[in-house]
């Protein structure tokens, strides 16, 4: 189970309110970098969560979009590390890199190497919110533990009427 390109956000799952706003998140790029975004940076650029469409706002490079993960590429991450080794064993992914990232809990495995363990927890979760009699929202997400802390990845959020 690869976690590359997934945006993992701190917390136990998607909520249909403001509780997920500005929670730390990270992802692994296709070229092998772990990019971490802390709460202060996300709040500065008004990035609510990986699936929320916000009011249009000005972002760096003249962009005027507010949909993640696309616009995560438009801002510099709080921290970025080149992943030297990437291993998958069962439901766990192990990332090895040279310096720790403040905000993630890695294990020091040698004098110049840290390991971040990402483990998928159980099946995909799904929840439906009934906004009105005819309007509803359905969300699906996967839960992970990252260095012993809860994170999740939104698979889909659909609004219907």
Judge whether 157 and 150 are in contact, CB under 8 Å: no
For residue 49, the model assigns a pLDDT of 60
For residue 55, the model assigns a pLDDT of 37
Instruction: Give the helix ranges, DSSP H, for 1-88.
Output: 39-44
The Cβ of residue 4 has, within 10 Å, a number of other Cβ atoms equal to 13
pLDDT above 50 (res 136): yes
Look at the pTM and tell me if it is higher than 0.75.
yes
Residue corresponding to tokens 């590429």? 73
- Alpha-carbon distance values, 93 to 2, 30, 32, 105, 131 (Å): 7, 15, 14, 14, 37
- Pick from 116, 130, 115, 124: which is nearest to 156 by CA? 124
Q: Which carries the bigger pLDDT value, residue 132 or residue 101?
A: 101
| pLDDT band with cut points at 50, 70 and 90 for residue 1 | low
- Pick from 109, 105, 103, 8: which is nearest to 51 by CA? 8
Residues 35 and 41: their CA atoms lie apart, in Å, by: 13
Measured in degrees and rounded to the nearest 5, phi and psi for residue 106 equal -95, 170
Residue-wise pLDDT tens digits, 84-129 = 999 999 999 999 999 999 999 999 999 999 999 999 998 999 888 8
Residue-wise pLDDT tens digits, 11-66 = 998 887 777 778 999 999 888 999 999 999 988 888 766 555 433 344 444 443 33
């Amino acid at each position: 189970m690869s976690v590359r390109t997934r945006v993992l956000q701190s917390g136990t799952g998607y909520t249909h309110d403001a509780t997920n706003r500005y929670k730390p998140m990270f992802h692994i790029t296709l070229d092998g970098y772990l990019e971490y975004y802390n709460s202060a940076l996300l709040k500065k650029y008004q990035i609510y969560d990986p699936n929320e469409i916000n009011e249009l706002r000005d972002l760096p490079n003249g962009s005027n979009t507010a949909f993640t993960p696309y616009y995560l590429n438009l801002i510099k991450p709080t921290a970025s590390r080149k992943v030297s080794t990437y291993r998958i064993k069962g439901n766990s992914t192990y990332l090895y890199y040279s310096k720790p990232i403040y905000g993630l809990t890695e294990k020091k495995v040698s004098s110049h190497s840290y390991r971040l363990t990402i483990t998928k927890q159980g099946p995909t979760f799904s929840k439906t919110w009934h906004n009105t009699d005819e309007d509803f929202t359905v969300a699906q997400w996967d839960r992970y533990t990252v260095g012993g802390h809860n994170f999740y990845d939104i698979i889909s959020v659909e609004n219907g009427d």
